[in-house]
Chain A
C-alpha cells in the first residue's frame, strides 16, 4: 500500500524517517583589541541535528535541536531563548513542528522558521521570525511557536501564519564585541542635560504580542514570473529605545512598536539572468515610536558556466554573480518631538549595494566574495571565504571579514572586529 494516499491521490510528504546532522567547529582570530571583549581568539562548535518522523500516514514530526559550545561567552547552560539574555543557550530546539498533510492543505503547529521573499541576499519582507544578532554578521532566525496553514493550488499557494506570543530579536549586550556603541545617544543627551549620563539597557517593555501573517505565492499568474504578496501584522522585533533619565543615569528602555507591513515581490528569468524586485511598505501604529517607510529592492543574478564561454580558462568552472540594491524611503517621519531613538540594528540597509560573487573551481572548491556597501555613511562589510570539500561529508573553510567606516556608521563602529576564520564541518 502506498503511504500518503488520500482519495487515491499521492501527496508528497516525508513518509519515512529521515535524519541528518551537521557538526561545525571553528576558530576566529580578531586582530584588534575590543573594549567589550578582550579575547583575540574564539573557539566555537555547533552540533545541528534534524529528524523527521512519520507519525501517521499524513502526519509528520520535525525535530531540529542545536547544541552549542564556545570557549568565551557566547553560550551558557542557564540561558533561555529570551531577547535579554546575553548568551545563547547551550541546547536549543530550533524547530519542533507537527505537520498534517491533506490534499490541498498543510497544517503545521509548533516551533517554526519561515522564509519569505524572493530576494537572493536580503529580503525586506522576511520579518516573521525575530533574529539572534549576538553575532550580527552571522545572525540566525529564532524559531517561533506558531500555527501555519498552507493552501496548495495547482500554481498558487496561500500561507496563513499565527504566532500567539512572538519574541524579540536578541541584540548584543555590553559584554559582547558586537555591542552597538550608544555614544550618539549619550552625546545628544549630554548636550541637553549638561552632563554625560551613564547608560542602562536593562529595562525593556514586554514584547510578547501576537503576529498574524498571510503570504500568497504564484508561479503562473504571470507567465514566466513568480509573484509573492504578503501581509504582516506584528511588533517590531528589534525595537527602538526610549531614553528616561533616572538620577544621573539614562535608562534606555527598549520598546517594540506595532506595525502593519505589506509587500509585493516579483521574480523572473530573462535570458541568462534572473531578476527580482521587492517593495515593502511598513506603517507603524504609533508615530511617536517610529517612521512609516517604503523599502525597494532590485536584484539580478547570473551564473556563467565558463566552458560555455572559453576553451582556454580551465581553472574556474563556474562563476555566479548576484547583486542587489536596497533603498528606503520614509513616507512619514517619526514625530519630531518624539524622544524615541533607533537601536541601530533594525533598518540597517537604507541606501545599500549587496554583492555576492562565487567562483567554483570544481565541485569541491569554492571561493566566495561578499560585499555590503552603505552609501549614506560610506561604511562597508567585505567577506572572503574559501572552502574545500575533502569528501562528500567533510569540508574545511577559511574566511576573512573586514569592516570599514566611520565610528557612527553601522559597520564602521565594528572596525575592531575584523576577523579571520578557520572552520570545518562534518555532515552525518
Chain B
C-alpha cells in the first residue's frame, strides 16, 4: 500500500512533531494542576524581593482611600517564606507592620501584627486570617504566598482571558485544618499558558458562592540582577504583575494595588524577619 519511503517520511514527521512541539504544549498534554502550579512557582519564585506599592481602597460609594506600603520577602533556608510588610502612609497607620512566616504543609503559618501606638507585636490567630487586612478587600491569608502542600489542584481545562490562552485550575484546601483556617472553599486560578503566570483568580466561600475576584495586570518580564537569587528561572528573568485588582462582589468594593518600585535578589539576613525588627520604622529603598 505505502512504500517504505512514504512510511519513513510519516515516521520522521511524527518524530519531529513530538520533539519540536512547544514545551508548553507538551505540558498541556501531560501536566496536572499541581504540576502546573509547581511549574509556576519554580519559574517565578525568587529568593528575595522588595516592592513598594500603593493600595487604593474603593468603597461602594466610590470613596477612595490610598495607602502606601512596602514589602520584603525572603525564602528561608528550609524553603519556607518570610515576609515583612510596612505601611508608609497615611500618617495614622505609618509603621503598622505585618510579619509572616509561611510554613509548608500542615503547620499553621505564623503571623504577627505591629501597632506602633502600643509598641507591641501581636500574634494573629490562624482563623483570623480570613479577616480583611487593614480594611482592604484582601484578607490576611491573601497576603501569604501560595502553599502547594496545603491545597489540591485540579486542571479544569483552558480558557481565553484578554486574548491569552490560560489553564484553568481549581485549588481546594487539602486538609481539614486548612479548610477551617481558610475563608475559601475553593479558588479558580487562570494561569497564562505562554508564561505560566496567573492573570485572574476567583474566590468561592464554603457554600460555593463566588465572593471575590482578582485580576493581575500590567505584566512585566524582569531580568534578575543576581541569577543565583532566582529559584528556577532558566533565563534569569521572571514575570510579575504591576497592578492587581481585588473585588468583593457582594459589597461592590475593590482594592487596587499598584507596584511602584521593585527589586529582586536582595541579600537579606533571616534575622531581619523577626518580631523585634517589625517594630522598626520602615525602610525606604532607593
Answer whether residue A84 sits at the interface, using C-beta atoms and an 8 A cutoff.
no
Known: A219-B110, A393-B90. A305 touches B132 (CB 8 A): yes
Any chain A CB within 8 A of the CB of B57? yes
A157 contacts chain B at the CB level, 8 A cutoff: yes
Near B by CB (< 8 A), chain A positions 283-334 give: 301-303, 305, 307-308, 318
Whether, in the assembled complex, B42 has its beta carbon less than 8 Å from a beta carbon of chain A, the answer is: no
Shortest distance in angstroms between A424's beta carbon and chain B's nearest beta carbon?
13
Contacts of B90 in A (CB 8 A): 392-393, 427
Contact A305 B131, beta carbon cutoff 8 Å: yes
- Please tell me if the beta carbons of A271 and B94 are within 8 angstroms of each other in the complex: no
- Are B65 and A392 neighbours in the complex by a CB distance under 8 Å? yes
Are the CB atoms of B285 and A2 closer together than 8 Å? yes
- Judging by beta carbons under 8 Å apart, are B127 and A13 in contact? no
- Which residue of the partner chain, among B65, B276, B284, contacts A15 with CB atoms under 8 Å? B284
Q: Does A303 contact B274, Cβ atoms closer than 8 Å?
A: no
Tell me how far the C-beta of B182 lies from the nearest C-beta in chain A, rounded to whole angstroms: 11
Q: Is A4 an interface position by the 8 A CB rule?
A: yes
Question: Shortest distance in angstroms between B120's beta carbon and chain A's nearest beta carbon?
Answer: 5
Q: By the criterion CB–CB under 8 Å, are B123 and A269 in contact?
A: yes
Q: Which B233-279 residues have a C-beta within 8 angstroms of A?
A: 250, 266-272, 274-277
Complex interface residues of chain A between 134 and 188 (CB less than 8 A to chain B): 150, 152-157, 159
Q: A219-B274, A269-B108, A392-B65 are in contact. Are A274 and B267 (CB under 8 A)?
A: no
- B73 smallest CB distance to A (angstroms): 12
A383 at interface by CB-CB < 8 Å: no
Interface residues on B, range: 35 or more
A62 → chain B, closest Cβ, in Å? 8
Complex contact A10–B128 (CB within 8 A): no
A416 adjacent to chain B (CB < 8 Å): no
Given A15-B283, A219-B110, A272-B125, do A427 and B131 touch, yes or no (CB 8 Å)? no
* CB of B282 within 8 Å of the partner chain: yes
**Contact in complex: A10, B266 (CB < 8 Å):** yes
Instruction: Tell me if B286 is interfacial: C-beta within 8 Å of chain A.
Output: yes
Interface assignment of A273: CB less than 8 Å from any CB of chain B: yes
Instruction: State the Cβ distance, A126 to closest chain B Cβ, in Å.
Output: 9
In the complex, whether A31 has a CB less than 8 A from a CB of chain B is: no
The smallest C-beta distance from B66 to any residue of chain A, in angstroms, reads 8
Contact with B along A41-64 (1 / 0, CB 8 A): 000000000001000000000000
Q: Indicate whether A226 sits within 8 Å of B180 (C-beta atoms), given known contacts A157-B275, A269-B108.
A: no
Cβ of A14 and Cβ of B271 under 8 Å apart? Answer: no
Instruction: Name the residue of chain B whose CB is nearest to the CB of A304.
Output: B131
Instruction: State whether A154 touches B123 (Cβ < 8 A).
Output: no
Contact at B280–A152, with CB atoms within 8 Å? no
Which A residue sits closest to B107, measured CB to CB? A223
A274-B123 in contact given A13-B280, A18-B282 (Cβ < 8 Å)? yes
Given contacts A9-B267, A115-B118, A224-B107, contact A268 B272 (CB under 8 A): no
Segment 243-294 of A: residues with Cβ below 8 Å from B:
267-274
Cα distance, A217 to B131, chains bound together (Å): 27
Q: Once the chains bind, are B84 and A308 in contact (CB under 8 Å)?
A: no
Nearest CB in chain A: distance from B124 CB, A? 7
Cβ contacts B131-147/A at 8 Å (1 or 0 each):
11001000000000000
Q: CB of A113 within 8 A of chain B?
A: yes
Any chain B CB within 8 A of the CB of A408? Answer: no
Given A120-B122, A152-B271, 18 additional A-B pairs, CB 8 A: A8-B267, A10-B266, A12-B283, A20-B94, A21-B91, A104-B269, A104-B271, A152-B276, A154-B274, A155-B274, A219-B275, A271-B127, A272-B127, A273-B125, A301-B125, A363-B65, A393-B92, A428-B91
A contact set with B: CB distance below 8 Å: 1-4, 8-16, 18, 20-22, 52, 103-104, 106, 113-115, 117, 120, 150, 152-157, 159, 217, 219, 223-224, 226, 267-274, 301-303, 305, 307-308, 318, 363, 392-393, 395, 427-428
Interface residues of B (CB under 8 A from A): 57, 65, 72, 84, 90-92, 94, 101, 107-108, 110, 112, 118-120, 122-128, 130-132, 135, 180-181, 183, 250, 266-272, 274-277, 280-286
Q: List 9 A-B contacts (CB under 8 A).
A: A12-B280, A120-B122, A152-B271, A152-B272, A153-B274, A219-B112, A269-B108, A270-B125, A307-B250
